[in-house]
Amino acid sequence: MYRTIAQLDEAIDSLLNTRPDLCTSVTLNNSVEGRPIRALRLRAGGGADRRGILIVGGMHARELMNPDAIIELAFDLAQAYTSETGLTYGGAEWSALDIRIMMETLDIWMLPCANPDGRNYVMTTDWNWRMNRRDNPGTPCDGVDPNRNCDFLWRVIGPTTVCNPCSTTQGFVGSLPFSEPESQNIHLLCDTHRIDVFVDVHSFSQFVLFPWGHAPTQTTQPLPNFTNLLAGFCRPLDPPGHQEFMPPSDQVKYQTVATRVADAIRAVRGSSYVLKTIFQVYNGTTTGTSSDYVYSRHISNPALRKTFAFAFETGPNTGNDRLSFQPVDPEPVKFDTKAGLVALIQQSVCAIEFIGETLQARTVDSIRTACDELLEPSEKGRGWIDFVSSVQHELLGIVLSDKALTKRAMSVLGLVRKLSAARGKATVSATDVEEGIEFFESLKSRATRPEVREAISVVNRQLKKASGQTVDTILKKLAKSSPPKF
């Protein structure tokens, strides 16, 4: 069953009224036809400047399942948090502590229905409508595709990106970049709130997507990049054959996170989601999309924070396009989608940032810079970052469950911060090593998964070798040695 716009609005109101301690909202630009559009924020506990994830659904009107899935996810997370039960979708499970960490370390933003006019039109007039309901002046044709209207190589045309409002493509780019309130709301949220991870949920074909959409992605030649390409002329990508650069560390991160998302979806009931770049979906240029826009912001303007942006294409190709967009029973697909989203939310948590910045209100930039400069450039170094990230959720859970351990974690992190700030000069002392090893041994005795206990042993073996060395030397050595594989 699919909910009407009025029902989705009522669900948001009820959530806000029942648990104002967990759910707040921001009012965004009204739709073209004047319908209110709101984004929800879920968070529990305190702490300023948290990492944020923004989940968007319903940008394309006919893809009806996703707004329902996202609003249900808001309820599921709030319920799992308050009742301390954890969350289960088929075979995919998250413990009460997992949910607590997500809710207490992140700001989880949701824009469940980005294009309410379009959804209403699908329910009242045309099941196949994809765009918003813009009346295009001087033409008998309505609608702009909000996911081709973002300010990223706008009006560079391709198989699903067109300049003719009367094209049956349903990919009209609009009269100006961000001419549509439905797309403006994406950049409004990114401009006004901290968004580290973004996902735009679409249907169908079972894909987990990431940039780029306008060209194939390559990781070797930083220039020329999209900022050097001509846009705005209703012409195909110029030069043809351009391949867009993505730093290797970003590509690894996209692959790693998307793989974990696909794994979580598979755990629900066996659905197989394939990882692709947006370009690969149509094997052609797609521009003005929200995901490429959101990821490109930090490149167009280096003063802006980097946001890792994904897109999902939920649900299988059933052989009947109408039923693929709007299955008679959408529940199984919604379970898959919700599991993928929870996995993405979980991947957005950063233990070091939470302890350092939220709990201690001090920057962890020195640690980040040391890792960026010394670990990220090499494949082995990135492997070590991935190794730490694969166990961080459980370790953060252990740390937060015990006040004394939380205090010790802050102390160890303070030490690492100090050593990283003076990383070429200050050396790690024998006492520092001892404090670190004792701390990690305390975590090990509480860890339940054997992989996590083994990971701690690996960390402690490295720590034992650290005495008398600078952080630079330690990280350089790590970058040359293979990380363990579990």
Partner 1 sequence: MKRSKKAAAERQDRSAALLKMRFQATIYPGRNAKTKNWADDLDVDRVPDAEGGVRALITVEDLVRLLKRGLEVRLYRAHAYEPLDPGLIATDKEFKSWLDEGISILKAKPGPKPFVEP
Q: Quick one: 360 or 473, whose CB is closer to partner 1? A: 360
Nearer to partner 1, 80 or 374 (CB): 80
Q: Which is nearer to partner 1, 65 or 478 (CB)?
A: 65
Q: Which is nearer to partner 1, 8 or 471 (CB)?
A: 8
**Binding-site member from 37, 69, 208, 281 for partner 1 (CB under 8 A):** 281
Give Cα separations from 437 to 145, 443, 461 (angstroms): 55, 10, 9
Residue 139 binds partner 1, judged by CB under 8 A: no
Give yes or no for residue 140 binding partner 1 (CB under 8 A): no
User: Which range binds partner 1 by CB under 8 A, 158-166, 292-300, 333-341, 463-471?
Assistant: 158-166
Q: Whole-angstrom Cα distance, residue 202 to residue 178?
A: 19
Residue 321 found at the interface with partner 1 (CB under 8 A): yes
Q: Tokens 């996209």, residue?
A: 254
Tell me how crowded residue 468 is: count the other CB atoms within 10 A of its CB.
11
Comparison of 92 and 103: residue with beta carbon closer to partner 1 = 103
> Residue 153: helix, strand or coil by DSSP?
coil
In this chain, which of 9, 11, 385, 439 binds partner 1, going by CB under 8 A? Answer: 11
- Counting other chains too, the contacts that 440-444 makes at CB distance below 8 Å and 24 or more residues apart are 442/405, 442/408, 443/395, 443/398, 443/399, 443/405
DSSP 8-state symbol, 357: I
Residues 40, 92, 122, 443: which binds partner 1 (CB under 8 A)?
122
Distance CA 209, CA 288 (A): 15
List 235, 298, 305, 322, residue binding partner 1 (CB under 8 A): 322
Minimum distance, C-beta of residue 407 to partner 1, in the bound complex (Å): 12
**Chain residues 164-223 in contact with partner 1, contact rule CB under 8 A:** 164, 167-170, 204-207
Determine if 481 is a binding residue for partner 1 (CB under 8 A): no
Taking the C-alpha atoms of residue 235 and residue 464, their distance in angstroms, rounded to an integer, is: 60
Q: Does 134 bind partner 1 (CB under 8 A)?
A: no
Interface with partner 1, residue 448, by CB under 8 A: no
Crossing angle for the helix pair 403-421 and 379-400, to the nearest 10 degrees: 150
Residues 221-240 that bind partner 1 (CB under 8 A): 236, 240
* Token pair listed for 49: 């400047």
What are the Cα distances from residue 13, in Å, to 17, 23, 64, 271, 445? 6, 10, 20, 33, 45
191: alpha, beta or left? (left if phi > 0; alpha if psi -120 to 50)? alpha
Could you say whether residue 3 binds partner 1 (CB under 8 A)?
A: yes
Task: Establish if 126 lies at the interface with partner 1 (CB under 8 A).
Answer: yes
Cβ of residue 410: shortest distance to partner 1, in angstroms? 12
Shortest distance (Å) from residue 67 CB to partner 1: 12
Q: Are 407 and 420 in contact (CB under 8 A)?
A: no
Q: How far is the CB of 444 from partner 1 (least distance, A)?
A: 21
- Which residue has tokens 């050593």? 419
Among 79, 139, 227, 255, binds partner 1 (CB under 8 A): 79
Using CB under 8 A as the binding rule, the residues of this chain from 333 to 362 that contact partner 1 are 358-359
Please report how close the Cβ of residue 301 comes to partner 1 at its closest, in angstroms. 30
Stretch of 154-162, 223-231, 334-342, 458-466 lying at the interface with partner 1 (CB under 8 A)? 154-162
Q: Which residues in the 13-42 window bind partner 1 by CB under 8 A? A: 14-15, 18-19, 21-22
Q: Which residues contact 59 (CB under 8 A, 6 or more apart)?
A: 114, 115, 146, 147, 182, 200, 202, 290
C-alpha angle with apex 178: 174 to 182, nearest 5 degrees?
90
Contacts with partner 1 by CB under 8 A: the residue count is: 70
Which CB contacts under 8 angstroms, 24+ apart, belong to 373-376?
A: 374/472, 374/475, 374/476, 374/478, 374/479, 375/475, 375/478, 375/479, 376/247, 376/249
Taking the complex as a whole, the smallest distance from the CB of residue 303 to partner 1 amounts, in Å, to: 29
CA–CA dist 352, 350 (Å, integer): 6
At residue 167, the 3 state secondary structure works out as: coil
User: 37, 39, 44, 452: which one contacts partner 1 (CB under 8 A)?
Assistant: 44
Sites for partner 1 among residues 380-439 (CB under 8 A): 400, 406
* Per CB under 8 A, 282 contacts partner 1: yes
Pairing of strands 106-111, 38-42: antiparallel
Interface residue with partner 1 among 20, 36, 91, 128 (CB under 8 A) is: 128
Instruction: Give Cα 418 distance to the centre of its chain.
Output: 30
Phi and psi, residue 89, nearest 5°: -125, 105
| Beta carbon nearer to partner 1, 1 or 303 | 1
Q: Examine residue 331 and tell whether it contacts partner 1 (CB under 8 A).
A: no
Per CB under 8 A, the list member of 20, 36, 159, 239 interacting with partner 1 is 159
Residue ranges with strand state E in 86-223: 87-89, 92-94, 106-111, 156-157, 197-203, 207-210, 217-218
| Least spacing, CB of residue 367 vs partner 1, in Å | 20
Question: Would you tell me which residues interact with partner 1 (CB under 8 A)?
Answer: 1-4, 7, 10-11, 14-15, 18-19, 21-22, 44-47, 64, 75, 78-79, 81-84, 100, 104, 122-128, 130, 157-160, 162, 164, 167-170, 204-207, 236, 240, 274, 281-285, 313, 317, 319-322, 324, 326, 328, 358-359, 400, 406
